[in-house]
Amino acid sequence: MILVPAVITLAVTLLRLTGELQRWSPALFGRAAGGGGSLVGISWLIPIFGIYFALKLVKRGEGPASVGRALGLALLAIVILIAAGFGGSALKLAPVAQLGIFAVLSWVCIAIAYPGWPALTRPLLAYGFAARIPVAIVMLFAIFGNWGTHYDVAPPNAPEVAAMAPFAKWFWIGLVPQMTIWIYTTVVGGMIFGAITAAIARKRSPATA
């Protein structure tokens, strides 16, 4: 189920990298830390493939037992991470400490969302790894090569990370976020769009439901 989405996502990742290295339009290929806001990026694919997986599962008769539960648990997972963010800011924790908390809670929240629709969580989880492992590898080379892309730029609020040796820098801004926070974003974001899709599909096909 994830083969085609994984290939498409890898193609977008390589296109994004090429655009940044060639200094193409910043609106399309932003090089700022985090890479947010760029029109070319794989984060935009999360809702698309969340809907895609959901449609295939519903068609196979593997929809959620309860759309409300699937959506509710996904929203709860979002609320928990938002609350952790506010808590970390209120306590004025160091960026690395906050990242560590987010990393652990990301997997806790995935476990919370899982029972809502296990049949969807599994392909979303597999797709998350298929999408994010290549990004982590690209970031490793970008950081060691100092390519000047968003893949190797530390957040401006984390000067201690920017001053780290290349491998340590990659661990904190590459490996940890890609294997935790972005997997969480893929699973929970995909679950929300997937649950909404299942609800619409059931209204259109009550006999199937």
Residue 9 belongs to a domain: no
In eight-state DSSP terms, residue 69 is: H
Which residues lie below 8 Å from residue 113, measured CB to CB, with a gap of 6+? 73, 74, 76, 77, 121, 187, 188, 191
What share of the chain in percent tops pLDDT 90?
79
Burial of 11 (0-12, 13-18, 19+ CB in 10 A): exposed
CA distance 184 to 178: 9
In tens, the pLDDT along 58-107 reads 999 999 999 999 999 999 999 999 999 899 888 888 888 999 999 999 99
Residue of higher predicted confidence among 32 and 106: 106
Ranges 69-78, 163-172, 198-207: which has the least confidence? 198-207
What share of the chain in percent tops pLDDT 70?
98
Q: How far is CA 200 from CA 75, 76, 78, 114, 171, in A?
A: 18, 21, 22, 21, 41
CA distance 198 to 70: 10
Residue 88 belongs to a domain: yes
Residue 11 belongs to a domain: no
Residue 101 lies in domain: 45-204
Which residues lie below 8 Å from residue 188, measured CB to CB, with a gap of 6+? 74, 77, 78, 109, 110, 113
Residue 27 belongs to a domain: no
Residue 10 belongs to a domain: no
Question: What is the CB neighbour count within 10 angstroms for residue 190?
Answer: 29
3 state SS of 80: helix
Q: Count up the domains in the chain and report the number.
A: 1
Residue 12 belongs to a domain: no
**Averaged pLDDT for residues 118-124:** 97
Residue 20 belongs to a domain: no
DSSP one-letter string for 110-132: HHHHGGG-HHHHHHHHHHHHHHH
Residue 169 belongs to a domain: yes
Q: How far is CA 46 from CA 123, 145, 190, in A?
A: 12, 29, 6
Round the CA-based radius of gyration of the chain to a whole number and report it.
18
